[in-house]
Structure formats: C-alpha cells, structure tokens
C-alpha cells in the first residue's frame, strides 16, 4: 500500500486498510477463527487488485540465491573454510592432496576480502605450534600453510637442525627439544618409503606441545652454514614447514628491494689507506643480521691482532742425535714443565673428568697410552706447556698452548692426543700437518721446516781403523749451523748425554762465552756455543786420540777457529777438523739424515679485540625523518657535541675508548653513525679521516644503494593469517583427523 496505493482505486484501498485494522483487532483479542477468515479475505483482495506488485519468479530466485551466497561467504570468511594441501611441505603432518578445515573464528573475525581483523585475539591468540593458513607475504594472491615457530617478541636462533627460542622478556635461549622416532618416512602421496637419509623427530615446543617433523638429507645439508638470529617484530609471526628441508618458509623467503649496504661505504681498502692496520675481518652485528628493513645496515670491522693467548706452537724432534730422553729432560727443564703425569691424570685435573663424556675420555686416554713420559707446566700459567717422549719412535714433542686455545687441562689433553692421533696415522708428517687449529678462528701459520740435513748439521766419526771400538777410539764432531731450536736446550741435552749438567760440568770460556767441558774415563767432551753466529758444536775426543787435557783443548780451539768459515759456507762444517787433528784416523761412514731432526709449527691466533674495531651504521630514508633518527643515535653517545663538518645537524663525541660521529647526508636522505675505537683511531685526526671518507662516498648513491638487492623477508603480518588448521577430512583413512 505504501509503494503502490496510487495504482489501486480508493475504494479498494479502504477495504484493504479496514481488513488490516480488523486483523490487528482480532489478533489482540486472540479471536483465532475470525482472524483466519479475515486473513483469507485480505489475501483475496490483494490477489484480485494488487497482483502486479508481487515479485517475479526470476527476481525472487535471484534474491534467494544472493542471500544464500552472502550467508555462505560470510560463514566461509568468518567461521570455517575448506582448503586443499598443494604440496608436501608439511609432511608428515599433512600430505599433498589432503583436504582440511580452517577455523577462521579462533583468532578473531576477519572482514572479508581485507586484512582487517576485529575482535582480534578475543577467543584465542596465535601460539607456537599452531598450524595456520595465511596469505603469502610476497604474493598475497597465494595461500600458504605452515607451523608457527615464533610469536611477537620472540628471538629465534636456528643452527642447522637445532632451534632455540628466547621469548620476550627472557635473557636465555631455550632449545626446542626433539627426539628421533622409529617410523618410516613416506614419499608424498604414496605408501612407498623414502630411500634417502630421512629422519622423523618428535618435537616439543616451549609450552609442551608435541608434533612430528622430518629432515631429509645428512647433517651437513643445513639451511645455513652459520646460525641465524631472527627477532620477530610485533604484529608478525615466524613460520616453518614440518618438512624442514623441503619447505619454502620463513627461513627461505627473499624479496627484491632497494637496499643500503654499509660495507660499500667503508671498505677494507679504505681502512688500509687510513689506518696503520692491514688485516681486517668483518662482522654483522645482531641488529643487522637477518634484518628485515633493507633501509638499515650495520657492519663492524676488526683489526686482527696476534694473540699469545690464542696461539699454539708444536716442536718435534725425531730420533734426535743427542738422545730422545736427553732432549726431553733438557726441554722440560727450560720450559718449566716440571709436573709429571699421565694423560688420564691431566684430564682429571679439571675435576669430573673435565666435563667430557666417557667415550671421549676413553678415546683420549687410549691414544695417550703411547706417551712414555709427560710433563706439564704448573697450574696458574697463562701459557700451558707440555713436553712428552714417545719411547718406541724416539720422538720428543713440545706443545705450547695459550690460555684461550687451552683454557683447561682437559682441553690441553685433547690438543696433545690430536697431535698423537695424526702422528700415529703417519709418522712422516711434518709438524704443520700434526697440529690443527680451531675452525672458528683465523691463524697466521709460521712453519720452520725440517729441510735437508746437509748444510744445517754434520756428524763426523773418526777411528784408528774400522775394527776399533769404544769411546776411547772415537773422535766425533757434531756441528749445528744456525739451528732454529734453542741453543741452551741442545747444550743441556748434550751434557745430559754424558751424565752431567752445567752445575757439574766445567766452564771453558776461553773457547766461547758459553762453553763447557766434561772428562770421562773414555774421552774429553766439549759443548761449544757461539750465540752471535748461531752455531753449536759438540766435540768428543777419545783418550786414545787426545792423550791429555792439553791436546783436547788444542783440538777444541782449532774447531772454534773455524766457526766463522762454517757460518758463511756450509761445506766448511766438514773441514773444521784438519789433518793435524785427525792424523791417520779414518772417517767412518754413517747413515746420513736426509731431513733435519727438528721442525716447528706455530699457529698464531688472530684475536678480534674491541679496542681495534670500527662500527658503521647506515639508515636510508628513515620513516621518522633524518632529524629524529640523528637525535635517536645521538642519545647513545657520551657527551656529544654539535659538529657540522660532515653534515648539517651532525654530532661528534670522544671518550676514553673511542671517537664517535653521527651525521645526515641530506642530499640522499641518509643518516650515518661511526664508532672508531682508539686502538684503530689513536687520535681525532685519524678518526675524522674515516668519517670524511665515508661522508664523501655517501654523496654517490651508486656506492652503497642497490636497487635490486635480495633481502630476507621472514615474517608473516598478523593480518595475513586467515585461521588455524584444525581437521583433515580426506582421504578416508584420515577422515576427520585432528591436526596436531
């Protein structure tokens, strides 16, 4: 009547209105039979006079369909939505082809066709371990399904197969526990077992939730060679597939963006030009590692300094001519390795077997069983010394190990048995092949080769005839020319071979400042050390040749007189005894050494020290503007002063440890922060030189801005999450199975 009364006669309109009024009256009085009759009369009136106003069949059908679609879309968008799994990235939890229902109401109500969520987290919050469907952040037309591993505020460290989580407000990481389970890995979409190396693990999250993941491939096939640190920002989550090596997830997502690169603003070449240092290593701090903001970058350079505490040195004597036991004793005395013990006792010095597991301890003790004698330095020494003697092979070794390389005695035992293990496999190996450093540290290698014995050492034997035996009938001269090992050790080993030492031998300074004489029943012996010419001589003259001390002294004086010639010319070493001293005695052929008996490997550990470091931070087009970013970075400095040298509105600060600069480059909307420690920048001039070089290079954006850089994009925005996957309903074997 409201819409079409003009098309009906006034008389009929009055009848219809009267009928409606009568119906209202009868309804109030609950006169149901009369009400039914009156309603039928009204229906007849409408049918006869107002049929033209009824909806057509097509319109009514369209409206019904529209309402049905609207209800379905609303329910699908706000309550439950079916999905079909397209790949095996969530194996073994979900297989390719599975049909699942996603609860879209559990995290709030999402307005259809938008990323806006109302009543967010009213019924539940996203938790670690949830399996969620979300719009792929790099292409929101695609839907992905993964497991939540990090929630807002979490910091994750992913190291190969190990995952550590530090929740917001906590100081320590907690490892996500896992244990291997004895179940076969199946090929996706098949009952066939995977032929490759594949392991299933039952993983337990921080809140105790359990689920199963799998890894295909050996331990060496890690996602990254270095641990990754990821800080989950607010309103984002981090996700991973249960098929860890076969999932395109947060650890793999990369986006092509415009990005700034700090390394290009300040390079190693710049540091070589402007500082006294030459050997630098770079480091990416945590605030830049896996950084999701391509406008920010941070790099640290460390000048690598040789550190005695991080260094090691191995000396090896193979069947030394002065005797292995004698060299061992002399060496232990000189390096103050005074404590005798076994490898097992060395491990036990740290208490509780040095924290080793039984298998490692037994292996070390077994390898160390070939050590005849072992002496180590006393406790408290910053540099640990160990000297040991391998009886059957007549080999003596000395290991000098800094406190960083060998912080404990059990670590020293590991170093020793590491050398022994290599030696047992191949006794011909050089010292540089026996001593191994840590893979995590850079070393400078200083190797002193064995080299050819000829020219460095001679051992001459003379006797009256080939059948003459005994020391009385022996004239022996051993000459070391420029020996690299300690002259004092050689001297004491030689004296020990005659059952003496410098406390009981006779000093003979008339020959050299460091000369000693010992007389035995069989011969006269001399050790002659010429420190200035780096020469050492051992002379043994049998009493059938040197009848008395006077003739022995004369022979020693003749040898000393030839030292200058021998120093210049290796061939002169063999002519240090002339015919007057040899007489008619004959030289006896000896088995000559091809290689010298001694060599040394020194691994100088390069330690990174904060005192020799420079930090560079760069922010491109900051969201809060140049001035606000400069102010924020300035607040981190100690006693900053305004300084417009490198940019208007910049700041400079000096403290006991460093020089610091913060300044904008307005032309390119860049903020730069430089921290140079005083070990690397000893004065303000050198620090300003670095800042000036950086500011100059920042004027050209091609130096440090990449328009098509690839950067990690690891996080899913909260608004992209469509819901939680809850049930599998196909195939029949997994009908209505709850997703764990």
Q: Is residue 58 part of a domain?
A: no
Q: Is residue 312 part of a domain?
A: no
Distance CA 181, CA 491 (A): 65
Predicted local distance difference test score (pLDDT) of residue 4? 75
Q: Would you call 684 helix, strand, or coil by DSSP?
A: helix
Domain termination site, one of 570, 596, 622: 596
Task: Indicate whether 659 and 686 sit together in one domain.
Answer: yes
Domain harbouring 267, CATH code = 3.40.1000
pLDDT in tens, 126-173: 999 999 999 999 998 899 999 999 999 999 999 888 899 999 999 899
Task: Indicate whether 47 and 123 sit together in one domain.
Answer: no
Predicted local distance difference test score (pLDDT) of residue 401? 94
Q: Name which of 79-83, 94-98, 294-298 the model is least confident about.
A: 79-83
Q: Is residue 313 part of a domain?
A: no
pLDDT in tens, 173-217: 999 999 999 888 888 877 788 877 888 999 998 888 999 999 987
Task: Indicate whether 86 and 214 sit together in one domain.
Answer: yes
Tokens at 103, concatenated? 């609860």
Does residue 690 contact residue 274 with C-beta atoms inside 8 Å? yes
Predicted local distance difference test score (pLDDT) of residue 115? 67
Distance CA 113, CA 132 (A): 18
Domain harbouring 126, CATH code = 2.10.109.10
Does residue 679 contact residue 631 with C-beta atoms inside 8 Å? no
Q: Is residue 59 part of a domain?
A: no
Question: Nearest to residue 95, comparing CAs of 187, 20, 33?
Answer: 187
| % of the chain residues with pLDDT over 90 | 49
Task: Indicate whether 633 and 589 sit together in one domain.
Answer: no
Predicted local distance difference test score (pLDDT) of residue 526? 96
Q: What value does the mean pLDDT take over residues 227-245?
A: 90
pLDDT in tens, 44-54: 878 777 777 66
Q: Is residue 211 part of a domain?
A: yes
Task: Indicate whether 346 and 384 sit together in one domain.
Answer: yes
- CA angle at residue 173 from 216 to 206, to 5 degrees? 70
| pLDDT, the chain, mean | 86
Question: Nearest to residue 392, comparing CAs of 354, 427, 444?
Answer: 427
In degrees and rounded to multiples of 5, residue 315 shows phi and psi of -110, 135
Does residue 354 contact residue 347 with C-beta atoms inside 8 Å? yes
Q: Active-site residue among 146, 617, 678, 697?
A: 146
Task: Indicate whether 623 and 525 sit together in one domain.
Answer: no
pLDDT band at 503 (very low <50, low <70, confident <90, very high): confident
Predicted local distance difference test score (pLDDT) of residue 360? 81
Top pLDDT among 76 and 430 is at 430
Top pLDDT among 368 and 479 is at 479
pLDDT band at 717 (very low <50, low <70, confident <90, very high): very high
Task: Indicate whether 660 and 733 sit together in one domain.
Answer: no
Does residue 33 contact residue 55 with C-beta atoms inside 8 Å? no
Q: Which helix (H) or strand (E) holds 304?
A: strand 296-318
Domain termination site, one of 397, 414, 442: 442
Distance CA 500, CA 329 (A): 12
Does residue 240 contact residue 209 with C-beta atoms inside 8 Å? no
Q: Name which of 364-373, 424-433, 458-467 the model is least confident about.
A: 364-373
Question: Nearest to residue 647, comparing CAs of 673, 675, 621, 622?
Answer: 673
Q: Name which of 19-23, 64-68, 72-76, 702-706 the model is least confident about.
A: 72-76
Distance CA 301, CA 377 (A): 36
pLDDT in tens, 624-648: 899 999 999 999 999 999 999 999 9
Q: Would you call 149 helix, strand, or coil by DSSP?
A: strand
Residue 678 is part of which domain span?
Answer: 257-305+608-712
- Most distant CA pair in the chain, distance: 166
Predicted local distance difference test score (pLDDT) of residue 465? 92
Task: Indicate whether 237 and 90 sit together in one domain.
Answer: yes
Q: What value does the mean pLDDT take over residues 722-739?
A: 74
Residues 6 or more apart in contact with residue 112 via CB below 8 angstroms: 73, 74, 77, 78
Residue 61 clears pLDDT 70, i.e. is over it? no
Residue 264 annotated as catalytic: no
Predicted local distance difference test score (pLDDT) of residue 223? 42
Does residue 212 contact residue 117 with C-beta atoms inside 8 Å? no
Q: Measure the CA dihedral 122/124/125/127, to 10°.
A: 180
Predicted local distance difference test score (pLDDT) of residue 222? 41
Q: Which helix (H) or strand (E) holds 560?
A: helix 549-561
Residue 710 annotated as catalytic: no
Predicted local distance difference test score (pLDDT) of residue 330? 94
Q: Is residue 284 part of a domain?
A: yes
Residue 218 clears pLDDT 70, i.e. is over it? no
Tokens at 541, concatenated? 């003259």
Distance CA 18, CA 648 (A): 87
Q: For the chain, how big is the Rg over CA atoms in Å? A: 44
Q: Is residue 272 part of a domain?
A: yes
ω into 731 cis (within 30 of 0): yes
Task: Indicate whether 125 and 270 sit together in one domain.
Answer: no
Task: Indicate whether 327 and 431 sit together in one domain.
Answer: yes
Task: Indicate whether 658 and 626 sit together in one domain.
Answer: yes
User: What does each C-alpha distance from 488 to 86, 145, 398, 410, 495 come to in angstroms?
Assistant: 77, 73, 15, 30, 11
Q: Active-site residue among 19, 77, 87, 89?
A: 89
Domain termination site, one of 529, 564, 596: 596
Q: How many domains does the chain have?
A: 5
pLDDT in tens, 662-713: 999 999 999 999 999 998 999 999 999 999 999 999 999 988 888 888 888 8
Task: Indicate whether 125 and 248 sit together in one domain.
Answer: yes
pLDDT in tens, 456-497: 999 999 999 988 999 999 999 999 999 988 999 999 999 999
DSSP state of 491: H
Question: Nearest to residue 594, comparing CAs of 425, 431, 450?
Answer: 450
């Amino acid at each position: 009547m409201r819409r079409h009364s003009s098309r009906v006669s006034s008389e009929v309109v009055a009848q219809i209105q009267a009928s409606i009024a009568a119906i209202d009256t009868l309804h109030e009085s609950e006169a149901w039979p009369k009400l039914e009759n009156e309603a039928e009369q009204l229906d007849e009136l409408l049918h006869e006079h107002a049929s033209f106003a009824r909806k057509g069949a097509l319109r009514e059908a369209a409206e019904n369909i529209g309402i049905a679609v609207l209800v379905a879309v609303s329910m699908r968008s706000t309550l439950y939505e079916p999905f079909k799994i397209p790949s095996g990235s969530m194996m073994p939890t979900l297989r390719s082809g599975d049909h699942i229902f996603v609860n879209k109401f559990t995290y709030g109500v999402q307005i259809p066709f938008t990323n806006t969520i109302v009543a967010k987290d009213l019924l539940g919050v996203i938790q670690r371990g949830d399996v969620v469907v979300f719009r792929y952040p790099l292409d929101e037309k695609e839907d992905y399904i993964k497991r939540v591993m990090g929630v807002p505020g979490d910091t994750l460290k992913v190291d190969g197969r190990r995952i550590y989580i530090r929740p917001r407000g906590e100081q320590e990481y907690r490892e996500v526990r896992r244990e291997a389970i004895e179940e076969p890995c199946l090929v996706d979409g098949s009952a066939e077992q995977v032929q490759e190396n594949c392991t299933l693990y039952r993983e337990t999250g921080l809140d105790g939730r359990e689920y199963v993941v799998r890894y295909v491939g050996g331990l060496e096939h890690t996602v990254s060679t270095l641990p990754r640190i990821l800080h989950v920002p607010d309103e984002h989550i981090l996700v991973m597939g249960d098929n860890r090596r076969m999932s395109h997830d947060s650890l793999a997502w990369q986006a092509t963006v415009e990005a700034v690169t700090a390394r290009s603003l300040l390079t190693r070449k710049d540091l070589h030009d402007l500082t006294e240092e030459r050997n630098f290593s770079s480091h990416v701090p945590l605030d830049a590692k896996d950084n999701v903001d391509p406008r920010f970058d941070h790099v640290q350079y460390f000048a690598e300094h040789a550190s005695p505490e991080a260094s090691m040195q191995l000396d090896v004597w193979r069947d030394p001519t002065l005797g292995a036991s004698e060299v061992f004793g002399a060496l232990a005395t000189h390096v103050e390795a005074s404590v005798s013990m076994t490898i097992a006792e060395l491990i036990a010095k740290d208490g509780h077997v040095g924290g080793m597991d039984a298998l490692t301890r037994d292996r070390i003790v077994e390898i160390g069983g070939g050590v005849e004698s072992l002496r180590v330095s006393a406790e408290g020494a910053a540099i640990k010394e160990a000297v040991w003697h391998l009886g059957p092979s007549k080999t003596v070794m000395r290991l000098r190990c800094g406190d960083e390389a060998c912080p404990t005695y059990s670590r020293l035992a590991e170093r020793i048995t590491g050398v022994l293990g290599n030696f047992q496999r191949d006794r011909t190996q050089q010292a540089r092949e026996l001593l191994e450093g840590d893979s995590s540290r850079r070393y400078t290698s200083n190797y002193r080769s064995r080299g050819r014995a000829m020219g460095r050492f001679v051992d001459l034997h003379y006797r009256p005839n080939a059948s003459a035996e005994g020391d009385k009938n022996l004239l022996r001269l051993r000459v070391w020319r420029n020996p690299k090992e300690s002259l004092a050790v050689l001297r004491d080993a030689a004296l020990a071979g005659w059952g003496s030492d410098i406390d009981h031998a006779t000093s003979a300074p008339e020959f050299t400042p460091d000369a000693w004489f010992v007389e035995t029943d069989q011969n006269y012996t001399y050790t002659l050390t010429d420190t200035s010419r780096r020469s050492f001589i051992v002379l043994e003259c049998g009493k059938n040749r040197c009848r008395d001390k006077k003739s022995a002294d004369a022979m020693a004086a003749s040898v000393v007189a030839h030292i200058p010639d021998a120093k210049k010319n290796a061939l002169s070493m063999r002519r240090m005894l002339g015919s007057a001293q040899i007489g008619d005695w004959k030289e006896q052929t000896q088995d000559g050494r091809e290689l010298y008996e001694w060599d040394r490997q020194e691994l100088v550990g390069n330690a990174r020290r904060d005192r020799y470091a420079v930090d560079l931070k760069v922010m491109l087009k900051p969201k809060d503007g140049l001035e606000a970013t400069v102010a924020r970075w300035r607040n981190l400095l100690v006693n900053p002063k305004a300084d417009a040298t490198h940019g208007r509105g910049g700041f400079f600060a000096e403290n006991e440890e460093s020089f610091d600069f913060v300044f904008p480059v307005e032309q390119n909307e860049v903020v730069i922060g430089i921290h140079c420690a005083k070990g690397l920048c000893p004065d303000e001039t050198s620090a300003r030189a670095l800042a000036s070089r950086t500011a100059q290079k920042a004027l050209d954006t091609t130096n440090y801005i990449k328009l098509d850089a690839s950067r990690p994009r690891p996080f899913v925005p909260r608004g992209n999450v469509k819901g939680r996957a809850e049930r599998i309903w196909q195939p029949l074997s997994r009908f209505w199975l709850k997703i764990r």
